[in-house]
Amino acid sequence: MPRAIWNGAISFGLVNIPVKLVTATQSKKVSFREIRRGDNSRIRHRKVAAADGEEVTQDEIVKGYEIGPDRYVVLDPEELRALDPQRSRAIDIEDFVDLAEIEPLQYESSYYLLPGDMGSKSYELLRRAMEETGKAGVARFTLRSRQYLAVLRPVGNALAVSTLLYDDEVIKPEQLDGLPEDVEVADRELTMASSLIESMTTEWDPSRYHDEHRQRVLELIERKAEGEDLATVPEQEREAGDVVDLMAALEASLSAAKSEGKGGGQRDTA
């Protein structure tokens, strides 16, 4: 089980629930080291000044905010530390909202909360109450000298907390260029597209989806580690193009789905 990275309490109203914060996700990406071809010597990256190429030590480095070409406002680490939020051991719930109203684009990093000493009953009470009402708690808490906006919600038998991007960090659809405008969609086309979606609908099961690229990379590493000599085959790039006949494509897709036994609604995931 992952170890706790933060100990504190959920606070709302006059209620305090002791909790421990543990990570809810783990990266499975394949990591590589940079080495020199030929002798496998590790590559080291040094910090150098662009002006003269001289290596810079850590105590010479300060933060600079660029306000123009090669013009910076310089801030010392002490000046920035003075602005850090006050250390807090509380996840302060400010509001409760409908979970469905939170835009998924705002989600950042996720953690689990475990009950602390003597906190099991109040923890379970809050979890069940949010589950019954469909509500999520909007909160703030401080982790590693940074204050986060977060959402607290039930996940199975646990409480989870996810940090959120602030509203002004999320690009709104109305800020995008190139979205369709005044496009006419025929009723028959919409009916066909809706039927195709229904035929491909199934219950959400995240275990059905795997990182196929990562698996291929790991298999390649294993084969090379065993001394197998592999020939490189260039990958065929798929070209994206406009659908020439939309209705024909919809009809063919729907027909293929029905022939596979998927035309009656939800697919069998067994």
pLDDT tens string, the chain, 270 residues long: the values are 778 888 999 998 888 899 999 999 888 889 999 999 989 999 999 999 999 999 999 888 889 999 999 899 999 888 888 887 777 788 999 999 999 999 999 999 999 999 998 889 999 999 999 999 999 999 999 988 789 999 999 999 999 999 999 999 999 999 999 988 888 988 998 998 999 888 888 898 888 988 888 888 888 888 888 887 776 666 666 555 555 577 788 788 878 877 776 544 444 443
Question: In this predicted structure, what is the pLDDT of residue 270?
Answer: 39
CA–CA separation, 23 vs 3, rounded Å?
Answer: 8
Residue 35 domain flag: no
Q: Are residues 115 and 164 in the same domain?
A: yes
Residue 142 domain flag: yes
Q: Are residues 88 and 193 in the same domain?
A: no
Question: In this predicted structure, what is the pLDDT of residue 234?
Answer: 61
Helix (H, G, I), strand (E, B) or coil at 160: strand
Q: 107-115 and 90-98: which strand pairing?
A: unpaired
Task: Give bridge partners of residue 146 from the DSSP assignment.
Answer: 143
Question: In this predicted structure, what is the pLDDT of residue 263?
Answer: 45
Range of the domain at 196: 185-201+250-264
Helix (H) or strand (E) holding 217: helix 212-225
User: Which residue type, as a one-letter code, is found at position 117?
Assistant: D
Q: Are residues 132 and 192 in the same domain?
A: no
- Give the CA count within 13 Å in the CB-facing half-sphere of 168: 0
CA–CA separation, 195 vs 203, rounded Å?
Answer: 17
Q: Are residues 257 and 151 in the same domain?
A: no
Residue 110 domain flag: yes
**In total, how many domains does the chain have?**
2
Given a contact cutoff of 8 angstroms between Cβ atoms, the answer to whether 140 and 94 are in contact is: yes
CA–CA separation, 218 vs 183, rounded Å?
Answer: 46
Residue 75 domain flag: no
CA–CA separation, 149 vs 209, rounded Å?
Answer: 30
Given a contact cutoff of 8 angstroms between Cβ atoms, the answer to whether 139 and 151 are in contact is: yes
Given a contact cutoff of 8 angstroms between Cβ atoms, the answer to whether 106 and 136 are in contact is: no
Helix (H) or strand (E) holding 249: helix 246-259
Token pair recorded at residue 122: 């109040």
Residue 140 domain flag: yes
Question: In this predicted structure, what is the pLDDT of residue 105?
Answer: 95
Question: In this predicted structure, what is the pLDDT of residue 109?
Answer: 93
Question: In this predicted structure, what is the pLDDT of residue 268?
Answer: 46
Q: Are residues 90 and 19 in the same domain?
A: yes
Q: Are residues 19 and 99 in the same domain?
A: yes
CA–CA separation, 93 vs 106, rounded Å?
Answer: 18
CA–CA separation, 98 vs 9, rounded Å?
Answer: 23
Whose structure tokens read 């959120």?
164
Question: In this predicted structure, what is the pLDDT of residue 245?
Answer: 77
Given a contact cutoff of 8 angstroms between Cβ atoms, the answer to whether 150 and 139 are in contact is: yes
Distances in whole angstroms, Cα of residue 30 to Cα of each of 41, 56, 68:
20, 31, 39
CA–CA separation, 28 vs 214, rounded Å?
Answer: 8
Token pair recorded at residue 244: 């020439």
